[in-house]
Amino acid sequence: MPLQVDFVIPVLNEEEKLRKSVETLCNYLKSAINNPWRIVIADNGSEDGTPSISRDLSRECVNVTSLRLEVRGRGRALRQAWLGTDADLVSYMDVDLSTDLSAVPCMLKALESGYDIAVGSRLMKGAKVHSRTVKREMISRAYNYLIKALFLNKFTDAQCGFKAMTRDVAVSLLPCVKDQDWFFDTELLIVAEKNNLKIKDIPVLWTDDPDSRVKLISTAWRDVKGLLRLRIGGIPSLESPV
Ligand SMILES: Nc1nc2c(ncn2[C@@H]2O[C@H](COP(=O)(O)OP(=O)(O)O)[C@@H](O)[C@H]2O)c(=O)[nH]1
Ligand SMILES: [Mg+2]
């Protein structure tokens, strides 16, 4: 029996891209995978037409649903979406579809063959990155070096907007992940690796979208504070190991 998979798209004020991206993803999934699937649009805090486009899309397509939280934070939205489903596998991708969708079958294969988590990587051998500014590239490389220096981890790209795991892993891992915002991804991977979960790095084809919700300076500062919190405060052990 093929595993049921949720593709969560976190969105904040994405009225311009949302419809096209969901339609592109729908068409891709219909032809590329055999698993039963759902797209979950996870919005928190949008103040533009995003909520009404989400509602329209979920009325038009049986495979699309949406959820809305009032408090912002991408990690918060992903947590809610991943814990509120009965799908076997949960994942997310950014609405700009910067990660080429050819990573989807690789991700499913990894999870179906026993990995706990599959992560897109722009920094490993085999990955290709288009249109990324030198500034973003340098910040990304420096950040991932810093993580490696502090935690001696093996995963190569903490922040790629493409990740997936089994729901059982999400249920046991997420209570140990405190951040509700951009550091959520990094914290999740550090806690997972230190608890010996099997992480599959997948090299992706990434086409950068310069339209970004990230405030670089404040986000970088919060990331560094998050890393120090884990380094000094320690990494929690999963209460209910997978
Ligand atoms: N639900 C939710 N999604 C968010 C929030 N902030 C950003 N996003 C989404 O996260 C994804 C990545 O954002 P983006 O601006 O492309 O990040 P970048 O590619 O790193 O510059 C997009 O789908 C955004 O709409 C938030 O507070 N809540
Ligand atoms: Mg983006």
Q: Is the pLDDT of residue 242 over 90?
A: no
Q: Using CA positions, which residue lies closest to atom 14 of ligand 1?
A: 212
Out of 44, 48, 213, mutate this one to test ligand 1's pocket (max ligand atoms within 8 Å of CB): namely 213
Q: Answer yes or no: is the C-beta of 95 below 6 A from any ligand 1 atom.
A: yes
| 208-225 per-position pLDDT tens digit | 999 999 898 999 999 999
Compute the mean pLDDT over every residue in the chain, rounded to the nearest whole number.
Answer: 96
Q: Is the pLDDT of residue 240 over 80?
A: no
CATH number at residue 176: 3.90.550.10
Residue 241 forms part of a structural domain? no
Q: Rounded distance, CA 150 to CA 96, Å?
A: 31
Residue 75 forms part of a structural domain? yes
Q: List strand residue ranges (DSSP E) for 45-130, in order.
A: 64-69, 89-93, 117-121, 128-130
Please tell me the total count of domains within the chain: 1
Q: Is the pLDDT of residue 239 over 90?
A: no
Which ligand does the CA of 79 lie closest to? 1
Q: Which residue type is seen at 57? A: L
Q: What is the DSSP letter of 122?
A: S
Residue 240 forms part of a structural domain? no
Residue 198 forms part of a structural domain? yes
CB 195 within 8 A of CB 241: yes
CB 147 within 8 A of CB 193: no
Q: Supply the range of the domain harboring residue 143.
A: 5-233
- Tokens for 60, please give them: 């038009």
Distance, first Cα to last Cα, the chain: 21
Residue 57, Cβ neighbours under 10 Å: how many?
20
Helix (H, G, I), strand (E, B) or coil at 127: coil
Residue 211 forms part of a structural domain? yes
CA of 12 to the centre of ligand 1 (A): 6
Residue 131 forms part of a structural domain? yes
Over residues 85-94, the mean pLDDT reads 98
Bridge partners for 37 per DSSP: 5
| 36-80 per-position pLDDT tens digit | 999 999 999 999 999 999 999 999 999 999 999 999 999 999 999
pLDDT the model gives residue 1: 83
Residue 167 forms part of a structural domain? yes
